[in-house]
Chain A
Amino acid sequence: MPTWMVLAKGPVFLFVLTLALLGLLRLALLTTWDIAAAIRRAGFRQIPYRQVALQTISWLVPFGRLHRNRAGYSLASFGLHLSLLAVSFFLRNHLDILRANTGLTWMPFPKPALDALALAGILAATTMLFHRLYAAGSRRLSTPADYLLLLLILGLFVSGYLAGRAWNPIPYDGLMLFHTLGGMALVALVPFTKIAHCVLFPLIRLGTEAAWHLTPQGGSRVVQSLHGAQGRKL
């Protein structure tokens, strides 16, 4: 069995999978804790949960929003998310690996559709990378981790796509070793990087909503705490 297959079916994969799942669970629980504490401190009982849920869904399917600001970047971002999710979770080869490790599997997507999505993903990741590099605003906000993550995702898309092509000029086992190691690194990085938003996204929206509601009369109390009961003119 080639090395990459040993890695993919061996304990290293189980390690990164457990790390990612439990790490995400931990983050979700801690974030929920923080939100609960924020809501309790705010003393605000009328959190608009329905509105938060609707807003979350609207951001998950942002067709109505893509054109509003930086349309190209927004479209690339949406395309990258879509292709990443589809290819990661619905490619038969990936599901075979998952089944070998955990016994779990589900219906795969057709290969031609995933090939097209992989190409879309390569295009989207490249677009986002260039946008980060050449748009001044994005460049200021970007950290090295942002570039490295995008490069890793791009590398995974390219290596995965090439591995299924007969005209692939790179030795298959070497390419698959890179793809396997890169994929496992990405899974392991999920709870430690911004990719954690895959689970935290709805919670963060709820937290943001809660944080914007201060306790009734909270401002006056702050003034009293800072300047005594008499207060003073500000």
Chain B
Amino acid sequence: MSQTTRNWIKDGLWAVVFAGLVASVIRFAGGLGAATGLNDSAPWGLWIAFKLVFVALAGGGFTLAAMVYIFRLERYRPILRRAILVALLGYGAFIVSLIFDLGLPWHIYMPVLNWQHHSVMFEIAWCVMLYFSVLVLEFSPAILEHHWFRRPPFGMLLRWLHRLTLPLIVAGIVLSTLHQSSLGSLFLIMPHRVHPLWYSPWLPYLFFTSAIAAGMTALIVEGFFVERWFGRGLDLDLLARLGKGAVLPLGLYLALRLGDLWLRGVLPRALDGSWQSILFLAEIVAGGFLPLVLFSLRKVRRSREGLLTGAGLVILGITSQRMSLSLFTMYRAEGTSYVPSLGETLIAFAIPAAAALLYLLFAETLPLFGKQAEGPGNEAPVVPSPGAAAFSIRDTWGRGIAARRSGFAVIVVALLLPVLSLKSQTPVSPVTAAVGWEVLEIDGNRSGYAVDFPHLEHQERLMNESTGESNCRECHHLDLPGDRATACSACHAEYYRPVSIFDHSFHRQALGGNDSCLECHDPEHTALTGTICRDCHEDMVPGEGQAAFSMAALSYKDALHGRCLGCHEREALAQSRPELVLCSTCHSLAGQSPVTFDD
């Protein structure tokens, strides 16, 4: 692969990371509602699905560690450090993704303080925290062997880490075994949401076995990547053995999954012709049985194409299993839907993009390849990998890259910030006027849950006893020119947002074009020097204590709640009837009579 191609790939990854950073600002500044398509009926979305995939692909770390240190399969040692790096980045991506997904991300430390022994989440949180720490310790020797750290304190630390290797490896295997399976347990508590073809009481075992298979095949793909990117020779024999090794967990996973469906009598649904059944069949056949056959055939397994195809299919199959379970086929309430927002999607892809860049940084800087990475006790001089010089920012090459990537960053941020900000604003929502007269049916946002407002009854109640006239202005606080008792929706025309009731273009045209500016704006032509409406429209007189024109009318929702609640609160106090301020007083359910002042 040429340097230019590598640079372009890195530029692309950086662009995705920058885009994700912009979306992150919106996410943390405006909350989940501002940045995602998640809602009460779809609280789990793209981020959860991606998290489950990250963890599955990270399964190679504990698998290889067990193979090398427990089963003494020394031939896999040359790729152990890379396997741990992939696991570290996979779990890192999981944790970062979790921070985005938590409603109160600053509470992420809570499981450390508040122990909820019966919660699956509690177990996952602890296992992920501990296993990530273990992975950091496992990978630290690779960093400490860099020539930057060839000083006494680091040397001592390195020796200690080498001594701790075996306990750390054992801890890592135990912890990841626990939590890979408990991720599957999460779905056991919501069988009503999971499609029957993906639900299984054996989900913990399915998650565990599939993580082993996905982790091993991810390392095969990584081997091919290293060959292309770094120009290192491909150890086909080693990777083929890894493929052969993946047959066992993959076969076990398929047997458990299909066996459970068959035993519970759900398997016939795989042939019912629904899109879920087609997805299931594709997942099982193309992502399960086909690679199982490919890996079982020695000739195919030992060919580059066969090995890579098999590994790719396993990853696709397990990705499909995890995403179908948590996203595609999950049941949602009738009439609701979930479509990931742009910001949510950008963040979802920015996290693995950042992980990929970190992988490249480590792989180009640290001794991950060759004999120097083989294990503890090897103190051979570190030979920097070919790309090591690329991270020296002092040379012209570094400056050129910085200039190009910062240019990308500026354009991506500038393009996305306004686009993503739009999502955080309340959408334009014109109001539907109330219908009727004696009883007004108020349903401004056409939700179908109308408030039946006893208009005539209120008119009579607000009657001035001395004059015999009703005080319409109590509610109709400002009339439009030439109108009387102007409807609320005429000025409060947006359901969620305040809007201006003043038509500037109309007035300027009506008053004679540009010559008319000074008729309303004196001495400056600014929004703040505008004449108030009643100076010209004598009938636009506000009611007593009511606002005149103040640039913008409140949103319909706020205006109506404000207008009604003012009186209701007063009357609730005066009559000692707190029920008058209950929501159900006006928003009564069908078949129930609303509470009135006279009840």
**Interface residues in chain A, defined as those with a beta carbon under 8 Å from any beta carbon in chain B:** 1-2, 10-12, 14-16, 18-19, 22-23, 26, 29-30, 33-34, 37, 92-93, 96, 111, 163-173, 191
Contact = CB atoms under 8 A, between A and B. Distances in A.
A11 B422 contact: yes
Chain B, interface size: which category? 20 to 34
B414 A11 contact: no
A93 B515 contact: no
Given A11-B421, A18-B413, A19-B411, A167 B394 contact: no
Contacts, number: 78
A92 B526 contact: yes
B553 to A, nearest CB: 14
Nearest to A100: B527
Nearest to B519: A166
B402 A30 contact: yes
A87 to B, nearest CB: 14
B410 A22 contact: yes
Contact of B406 (A1, A30, A34): A30
B438 interface: no
A19 B409 CA distance: 10
Contacts of A164: 517, 524-525
B233 interface: no
Contact of A166 (B406, B515, B528): B515
Q: B interface, by DSSP: helix, strand, loop or mixed?
A: helix
A15 B504 CA distance: 26
Interface in B391-427: 394, 399, 402-403, 406-407, 409-411, 413-415, 417-419, 421-422
B190 to A, nearest CB: 39
A203 to B, nearest CB: 15
Contacts of A163: 525
B402 A92 contact: no
Given A15-B415, A22-B410, A22-B413, A171 B513 contact: yes
A93 B419 CA distance: 25
From A14, A22, A30, A173, name the one whose CB has the most chain B CB atoms within 10 angstroms.
A22
B65 to A, nearest CB: 42
B205 to A, nearest CB: 50
B517 A166 contact: yes
B4 interface: no
Interface in B481-531: 500, 504-505, 508, 513-518, 523-528
B518 A166 contact: yes
Interface of B: 394, 399, 402-403, 406-407, 409-411, 413-415, 417-419, 421-422, 500, 504-505, 508, 513-518, 523-528
B399 A34 contact: yes
B14 to A, nearest CB: 14
A144 B281 CA distance: 64
A15 B418 contact: yes
A19 B411 CA distance: 7
Contacts of B418: 10-12, 14-15, 18
A23 B406 CA distance: 9
In the complex, the 8 A-B pairs of residues with the closest C-beta atoms, listed nearest first: A11-B418, A19-B414, A14-B418, A18-B414, A22-B410, A111-B524, A168-B514, A26-B406
A18 B417 contact: yes
A101 to B, nearest CB: 9
A33 B402 contact: yes
B503 to A, nearest CB: 9
Nearest to A33: B399
Nearest to B419: A11
Contacts of B513: 171-172
Given A15-B417, A22-B410, A93-B526, 18 more contacts: A1-B500, A1-B504, A11-B419, A15-B414, A15-B418, A18-B418, A19-B410, A19-B411, A30-B399, A33-B399, A111-B523, A164-B517, A164-B525, A166-B516, A166-B517, A170-B514, A171-B514, A173-B505
A37 B394 contact: yes
Contacts of A2: 504-505
A232 to B, nearest CB: 30
A39 to B, nearest CB: 13
Contacts of A173: 505
Contacts of B403: 30
Contacts of B500: 1
25 contacts: A2-B505, A14-B417, A14-B421, A19-B410, A19-B411, A19-B414, A22-B414, A26-B406, A26-B407, A26-B409, A29-B406, A30-B403, A92-B524, A92-B526, A96-B527, A111-B526, A164-B524, A165-B514, A166-B517, A168-B514, A170-B514, A171-B513, A171-B514, A172-B508, A191-B410
A109 B422 CA distance: 32
B419 to A, nearest CB: 7
Of the listed residues A18, A30, A34, the one surrounded by the most CB atoms of chain B closer than 10 A to its CB is A18
A200 to B, nearest CB: 14
Contacts of B415: 15
Contact of B514 (A1, A111, A172): A172
